[in-house]
């Protein structure tokens, strides 16, 4: 019976599909990343160290990773609220709000960057009242965080929605019947169950924000608010390919390390609440 089911499978056998998977990953992921490492290896260690420790490069890395961390944290908090509202409540315009969540996916990054700059510029709809309060959003690190938050929100919401839909409302009612307040129910019942999904959304939002270029470049402004991808592009325009790959390699290693740590935290969370 088992062999018949295997023969009737829509896809071919394990050997062929696994070979195709490895070939596809090699062409799309492994070979390009290997080329990045090999190109950086053409530099001597002093030259590599000198490139990645330039003041301009260090400032761009701090802004890229620091801004991405802040944006992902903001999205983790407010994305949770948005997902909760979309799953637990029914209201007029709910489908429209749900569709708007995917807008950063559909918009070209340049379009979103121009739109954010127009809105948060000192003469924009939101930039003018902020300027009256002494807050400048566009062309500052704050603008960079706003753009990163914009592109990362869908990752958190779409990751949390299935987890919230699978979470039975009766669990909260049981916690309330046992005398738990709202905060206690959230911390001891809801958060442990949703933490793996929340961490996944956080990691995806962080990854997207770190590598974001199109929507950030317009609102970033001067060289004082350069992000690391902009430094890489600038070095490529100057035909400094080795320097560009050196900065890219640092971003790759740092991103991989952070994502690896988040994955370990996810596994620990699943084991604690298995």
Q: How many domains does the chain have?
A: 2
Q: Are residues 19 and 87 in the same domain?
A: no
Give residue 214's domain range: 44-272
Name every residue whose Cβ is closer than 8 Å to that of residue 230 and which is 6 or more positions away in sequence.
60, 213, 217, 220
Q: Are residues 75 and 185 in the same domain?
A: yes
In the numeric block, which tokens belong to residue 256? 């991989």
In this prediction the pTM is 0.83
Mark whether 92 and 131 lie in a shared domain. yes
Same domain, 99 and 123: yes
The answer on 68 and 30 residing in a single domain is: no
Residues 102, 34 share a domain: no
CA geometry: angle at 26 spanning 25 and 28, to 5°?
Answer: 65
Contact 188, 175 (CB under 8 A): yes
99 and 218 inside one domain: yes
Same domain, 199 and 225: yes
Looking at residue 130, which CATH number applies to its domain? 1.10.3720.10
Res 258: pLDDT: 80
Same domain membership, residue 91 and residue 73: yes
User: Encoding tokens for residue 113?
Assistant: 């960057």
The Cα–Cα gap between 209 and 67 comes to: 8
57-102, pLDDT tens digit by residue?
A: 999 999 999 999 999 999 999 999 999 999 888 889 899 999 999 8
| Helices (runs of H) and strands (runs of E) counted in the chain | 16, 0
Name the percent of the chain lying above pLDDT 70. Answer: 89
List per-residue pLDDT tens for the chain, 274 residues long: 454 544 556 666 777 888 888 898 888 888 888 888 888 888 888 999 999 999 989 999 999 999 999 999 999 999 999 999 998 888 898 999 999 998 888 888 888 888 898 899 888 889 889 988 888 888 889 999 999 999 999 999 999 999 888 877 777 667 667 676 777 777 777 888 888 889 889 988 998 899 888 888 888 766 678 888 889 988 888 888 889 999 999 988 888 888 788 778 777 766 765 5
**pLDDT value of position 18:** 84
Q: Are residues 182 and 82 in the same domain?
A: yes
CA distance 152 to 154: 6
* Structure confidence at residue 222 (pLDDT): 65
Residues 28 and 147 in one domain: no
165 and 205 in a single domain? The answer is yes
Q: Which residues contact 56 (CB under 8 A, 6 or more apart)?
A: 223, 226, 231
């Amino acid at each position: 019976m088992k062999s018949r089911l295997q023969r009737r499978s829509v896809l071919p056998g394990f050997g062929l599909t696994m070979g195709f998977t490895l070939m596809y990953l090699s062409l799309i992921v492994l070979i390009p990343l290997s080329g990045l490492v090999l190109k950086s290896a053409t530099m001597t260690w002093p030259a590599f160290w000198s490139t990645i420790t330039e003041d301009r490069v260090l400032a761009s890395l701090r802004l890229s990773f620091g801004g991405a961390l802040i944006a992902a944290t903001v999205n983790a908090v407010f994305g949770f609220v948005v997902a909760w509202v979309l799953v637990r409540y029914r209201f007029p315009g709910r489908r429209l709000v749900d569709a708007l969540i995917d807008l950063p996916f559909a918009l070209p990054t340049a379009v979103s960057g121009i739109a954010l700059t127009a809105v948060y510029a000192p003469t924009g709809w939101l930039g003018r009242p902020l300027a009256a309060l002494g807050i400048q959003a566009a062309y500052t690190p704050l603008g960079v965080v706003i753009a990163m938050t914009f592109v990362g929100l869908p990752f958190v919401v779409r990751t949390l929605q299935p987890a919230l839909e699978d979470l039975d409302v009766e669990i909260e009612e049981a916690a309330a019947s046992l005398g738990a307040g709202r905060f206690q129910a959230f911390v001891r019942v809801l958060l442990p169950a949703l933490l793996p999904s929340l961490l996944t959304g956080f990691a995806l939002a962080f990854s997207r924000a770190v590598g974001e270029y199109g929507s950030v470049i317009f609102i970033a402004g001067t060289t004082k608010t350069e992000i690391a991808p902009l430094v890489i592009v600038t070095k490529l325009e100057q035909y400094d390919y080795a320097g560009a790959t050196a900065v890219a390699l640092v971003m790759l290693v740092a991103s991989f390390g952070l994502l690896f740590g988040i994955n370990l935290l996810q596994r620990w969370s699943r084991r604690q609440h298995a």
